[in-house]
Each structure stands twice: as C-alpha cells, then as structure tokens.
Structure 1
Amino acid sequence: MHCPVCGHDCVTDARTLFAELPGRFAPCPDCMGLVYDKRSPPPDIDTAEPCPSCGKRFIDEVFAHIYRMMAAEGDLAGTEPLAAAGTPLVHPGYAMRSAPYLPPDSLVLLTRSAGERAAARLVAEVPEVRGVVRTGAGAPGLSDTDAEPAEHTLLAGCDVRADVFPTRAGPIIVYKQQSVLHVEFPRGRDEKILSIEREIGRHRPRTFVDTCSGAGTLGLAAARAGVPHVIANDAWYAAAFWTACNFGVNREVLGIGEVAMHRSYDDLRRRPVARDPVLVATAAGAQEIEVYQGDLRLLPAVLPPRIDLTALDLFDKADGRKVEEITRVWQVRVGGAIFIP
C-alpha cells in the first residue's frame, strides 16, 4: 500500500506480515550482542556493526549507536543513562520472550531529546531506524470533539508501524501512525480484546459498533470473531483513516472483499476533527464493514435500526459523569447492549 506519510510501500497485508514473523527478530548463528545497563551511559567501546550474515543487530547495540549520535549532536550530554535516548517501538510489535535482534528499518524511536539534525542522521546512518518522533506533553489523539487534539512531531523518516494482537480466532494486524495515535503495544494478554470476546460470547451480536475506534483494534477483533456487521467510528482523522486501512490489511483473514475508501488521507487531514459523521470506507463479503469519522453523539443518525452491541471505549474514562451521560443517551437513542472495555 502507498504510505501516506513517506510515499513508500511500507504497509503490507496481514498474511505477508504473519509469514515474516517467526524469524523477524531472531538472531542467526553468527549474531553477537552485548547487553547494556539501561540505567547507565553506554560503555566507552566501539558500537557493533550489523551482523554480516543476516544484517541484524541486538537492540542494545542499536540504542548505544543512537545514544552516541545524539550525544555527538549535543542532544545528550553523555552522562545520562542509555534509556534517556528514548523509547523503542519495533515494527511489527508483538509479545516477545527475549530482547530482539533488529533488521533494517524496524524501529521507530520516541524521544524527548533528539533535535532535527540528530533525527535526520539517525534515519540516514542507523539502518534499523525507520523514523524519529519527538514526544509532546500528552498522548497523541483526541479526548473530545471540543478539546484540542494532541500530536507528537515526526522529525525524520516514517512513523508508520504495525502491532500484532492475538485473538481467540487468530491474530490481527494493526497499523498506526505513531505521531498522531497513542501507543498500544501488544502483550501476551490484551484485556480490551478479552472483554470484547466475552461480550460477543454473551450477546451473539449480528451488529457491533465501536464508537471510538482508535486504529481499529476492537472492530477488527469483532470481525475476526465473526460478527456479521461491524461499524467503526472515530472523530479523529488519523484514527478513522487507519481503522479503514487496517480492515484492508486484514481483509483476507477476515474474509471480506476489497475495502472501498470513500475519503483519502488528505481529505480527512483537512478536517482533522469531525462532528457530523462522514463515511470513510466500506467493505462486503463474509462480513459487512463500515468506517465513519464523526462525533459519536451524532453517529446514531447514520446507524441501522438495530444495534446489538456497542463498545464505548472513550479516550478519557476518568470523567465518570461524561461516561455516564454518553452511555445513558446512547441507550435511549440506539439501544442494545453497551460495554466499556
């Protein structure tokens, strides 16, 4: 798929990505790597080069390379711990039993320290780094249509990466643009996916709505579980776009046909926060899929008459009064079973 961030074909279908996973981060017999203390600066030794046999390098060696380059550009003093360089997000991310050996173009770096010059050098000179993102004060995304959206800053490269989430019916791939969507790194057990699987088992829905889809994880899990009609919605442009994209990425494992995109990435970005729901994408086949961008409070106007199950996965669940009010109104206007993952 043509990537809207870098223009390259960096979004691949689920089956292709699944086929690469078994050996993606495994060392070959010739690989060697030192484990560094993350609470101290890296030792004063030469940084190891990628393995000449497989091209991979142990993640601590990669981070030592990143650290030294940032120190050379003046973004680090050289006395900070190795962990001060930032947070690594591997591509694709999934639950691992051991630290990875990274192939080229497999790491997005989240950092508060790197400047633009260092970021450009990291992407150009550290083969494993695909993108560098400077983090802001809060998690990227949208807490409410009346709130100011939060974003990080992509300094260099491409910040599109994938995560692999397990479900009872099989894994799903979730791509996201990391500067504009919050981190949701997969562990061996995902409580939100488990919650939707419990609710699907309890209610046997024919129609499921995810009102705040993020990158589409819950809608994909519902479709993977066999719900015939899945509707996903988010007011934030990046969430709506990547939800639609991820149904396309997983379409073979879901058994759906081609995903028809009714709004482009650029169209959505010109109106980053939507109120009146706009149809972004549709798909048919073994299941019917619809993706909208809009305020969840206005979404009932475009929904079919009967909704069996709704997930209200609000960005800010701490505001109990708002959650209760939205739930009450949804129950009156839409009905069906409602749960908060």
Structure 2
Amino acid sequence: MKCPTCNGDCILPARKVLDDILGMYMACGSCPPDPEFIKNLPLSDKIDSQSGLCPECKKRHLDFIMGNVLTILKEKGLFPQDALLREVGTPLISFGYQIPYPPRLGAKNIVLIMDSITKDIAEEIVEKVPEIKGVVKRRGLQSQSIGILDTDSSPHTYDLLSGCDMRCDVVLSLFGELCVYKNQSKIHIEFNNTKIKKMEELYLKGELEGAVVIDGFCGPGTLGLLSVLGGAKKVIFNDAWLPALRNTILNIKVNSSLLGLKIVFENPDHNELIGNEPLLLARAQGAAEVMVYHGDIRKLDMAVKESDICLIDTFPSMAPARFMAVCRDMTKKIIII
C-alpha cells in the first residue's frame, strides 16, 4: 500500500508489522556496544552517518543517530558548540512499540520533531542521516494539542519540513493488536495506555460484544478499531478534523485482515478540513458494520439515532462534559476515556 504522504512503501499491513515487531529493533551479534554519551553534557564528538553503524545489520543505536543530527546542526550554526544531545528534538520511531531495550534503527526509522530548525537544514538532515524519515517543526507549546479543539477553533498543526511524517503505533490489548498509522504533523502525539485499559474493562465486562459503538472523537481510529476487535456489531467513527479521518480510513484498510473488514464505500474527494453536519466518508462491512463520518459530534444525531456506547475522548485541555448532553440523545451509555 502506497503512503498518501510520500507515495513510498512505508505503509505495511498490520500482520507484517506485528510479525516483525519483536525483533525489529534488536541488536544483532555484530552490533557495536552502546555509546556512552551523556545527554546532559555537551557532545564533543563529530558523528557522521558511519559512526556506530553495524557492518552486518546496518543499524545504529539511537544516540548515534541523534548525535549525527546534532553534528549537522552545529556545523550549520543553528546550535552552539556546547549543545546537548537531548536538545536536538523528539525522535518518534516509525513503528512505535514499548521496547525493553535500547533500539537499533535502520533506514527511515525516525520521524524527528524539532523546535529549532529551518527547511534547508531539515532537508539536509533527511539527506545525510539515513535513519531520519522526516523532520517536523513544532509550532507552539509542546502541551498544545495538534488538530482542532472543536469546530469553532482554528486548526493547530506542526510543519512537515522534509521527508514523510507517517508513522505507526502498535496497540496491544488483552483481546488483540492493531497498527495505528498517523500523520504526526497533523495528529496529536500520544503516550497513554489508560485508554487501552478502559477498553479492556469494557471488553472483560462483555459490553463490547454485539454492541453499537460511537467513537465520537475518533482521531486516527484507535478506540473504534478496538471496539471492532472486541466484538462490536457496528461502530460509528466521527471526527470534525478531516486529516484524522483520512488516517482512520487508512487504518481500517491496514488492519482489514485482523478486523475482518473491507471498505465498500469511500469518498476520497471531500476536502473540507473542518466538518459541520455529518458527512459519510467511508463504509466498511464484514465482521462488523463500520461508518466513518466527518462532522461536529453535536450534530451527529442527524445521522445516528441510537447506540449502546458512546466513547468520548477529547483533548486534555477540553472538558468532555460539554458534549455529554447531546451524546445522551444518541446512546444508552457514555464512556469518558
């Protein structure tokens, strides 16, 4: 499957990712030892693309990669000579997974989020540091959520300066695994297992089996896809932010063999960034019936009249209570995630 961002081959089927993930970032027998860089002290070494490279598996320890980037930043005068390794940026591994060991990374394995970067230097980083897949410039505060808070707010996104920002998080639960792809310059960065635990609680109580579930603020679709895995007979995805829904539809396709779903309708030409009245973007059938709507959840009752569960997963800065009243008209039970 071609990546919608770079038209490359960085979108892998979920089964392929899950089969390979345990050994994807392991060191081989020929890998050099871990570097002894101290992240809160200036890095004096000059690191290039060959530094720390394993002659066998062609992977490098993450610290060598970040040191390679830091060397370029210092050579270009963007960072001072006494800059620290931890000041470079936030590296997001292309297939995110809880790794119990220091990762060894190969080509195009990192999307790098940076605060201080220019487009020309970002392009040089992608060209000269093989492991960097894309460079994204952060806008605003790190705590500021990417996307839209509601349909009345202006979108907040980061800037993809070079390469590709598509990456995947491997989602593990008691009742199955998923791969959730997202454009990281347009979708909120999450490191939160609490949501998965709440879905596991619903599953263990038998509340997902045969249920009609609304994923009201679906983002890239994680909770709704877990609902399908957990036995829901129908799942309605809804979000007001179009880039999130494009990722949702992609994730239905990528996980189709795990979910037992097939897309039977898709509207690829719709390009309104912020939704209002619910517009059907995609429909899938198989193990469950799936509908993907672009719109304001406060108007979703124009398309959805009833459900068993409505999942409300808003950004941390937004109080979910403001949406609960309208959701009560569509569902028997509201779950705040």
- Pair in the same fold by TM > 0.5: yes
Greater mean deviation of Cα atoms: 165-174 or 191-200: 191-200
CA distance in 2, matches of 1:87, 1:54: 25
Q: 1:201 to 1:29 in 2, by over 3 A?
A: closer
Which amino acid in the other structure matches residue 82 of structure 1?
Answer: L
CA distance in 2, matches of 1:318, 1:91: 29
The 5-angstrom pairing of residues 210-249 of structure 1 reads 210-249=215-254
- Tell me the TM-score normalized by structure 2: 0.93
What is the aligned partner in structure 2 of residue 273 from structure 1?
274
1:65 deviates by 0.2
Q: Residue 163 of structure 2 is aligned with which of 157, 170, 179?
A: 157
What is the aligned partner in structure 1 of residue 5 from structure 2?
5
Q: 1:46 to 1:194 in 2, by over 3 A?
A: closer
Which amino acid in the other structure matches residue 250 of structure 2?
Answer: C
CA distance in 2, matches of 1:261, 1:152: 31
CA distance in 2, matches of 1:263, 1:41: 51
Higher share of residues assigned strand: 2
The 5-angstrom pairing of residues 309-324 of structure 1 reads 309-316=309-316, 318-319=318-319, 323-324=320-321
The answer to whether residue 290 in structure 2 is matched with residue 326 in structure 1 is no
1:217 deviates by 0.8
- Tell me the TM-score normalized by structure 1: 0.92
Post-superposition Cα deviations, 1:282-319, rounded to whole Å, max 9, x if no partner, equal 1111111111111011111111x430001011224543
Post-superposition Cα deviations, 1:196-253, rounded to whole Å, max 9, x if no partner, equal 2323444345200000001111011111111111111110011111011111111111
What is the aligned partner in structure 2 of residue 39 from structure 1?
40
Q: Residue 125 of structure 1 is aligned with which of 128, 135, 145?
A: 128
Q: Residue 68 of structure 2 is aligned with which of 65, 69, 72?
A: 65
What is the aligned partner in structure 1 of residue 20 from structure 2?
20
How many equivalent pairs are there?
Answer: 329
CA distance in 1, matches of 2:232, 2:280: 20
CA distance in 2, matches of 1:195, 1:23: 29
DSSP 3-state at the match of 2:19: helix
8 Å CA contact retained: 2:92, 2:110: yes
Q: 1:100 to 1:288 in 2, by over 3 A?
A: same
- What value does the CA root-mean-square deviation take over the aligned residues? 1.6
DSSP 3-state at the match of 1:193: helix
The 5-angstrom pairing of residues 158-173 of structure 1 reads 158-173=164-179
Q: Residue 95 of structure 2 is aligned with which of 75, 81, 92?
A: 92
CA distance in 1, matches of 2:276, 2:36: 50
* Residue identity (%): 33
Q: Residue 190 of structure 2 is aligned with which of 180, 184, 195?
A: 184
CA distance in 1, matches of 2:2, 2:130: 22
Q: 1:317 to 1:330 in 2, by over 3 A?
A: farther
CA distance in 2, matches of 1:87, 1:15: 28
Q: Residue 53 of structure 1 is aligned with which of 45, 48, 56?
A: 56
Post-superposition Cα deviations, 1:262-287, rounded to whole Å, max 9, x if no partner, equal 222xx34x311011111111111111
What is the aligned partner in structure 2 of residue 301 from structure 1?
302
DSSP 3-state at the match of 2:286: coil
DSSP 3-state at the match of 2:167: strand
Which amino acid in the other structure matches residue 220 of structure 1?
Answer: L
8 Å CA contact retained: 1:24, 1:103: no
CA distance in 2, matches of 1:242, 1:95: 22
Q: 1:135 to 1:36 in 2, by over 3 A?
A: same
CA distance in 2, matches of 1:79, 1:278: 53
The answer to whether residue 267 in structure 2 is matched with residue 263 in structure 1 is yes
Unaligned runs of 5+ in 1: none
What is the aligned partner in structure 1 of residue 257 from structure 2?
252
DSSP 3-state at the match of 1:284: strand
Which amino acid in the other structure matches residue 45 of structure 2?
Answer: D
CA distance in 2, matches of 1:126, 1:72: 14
Which amino acid in the other structure matches residue 338 of structure 1?
Answer: I
Unaligned runs of 5+ in 2: none
The 5-angstrom pairing of residues 137-156 of structure 1 reads 137=140, 138-156=144-162
Which amino acid in the other structure matches residue 336 of structure 2?
Answer: I
1:120 deviates by 0.5
1:143 deviates by 0.4
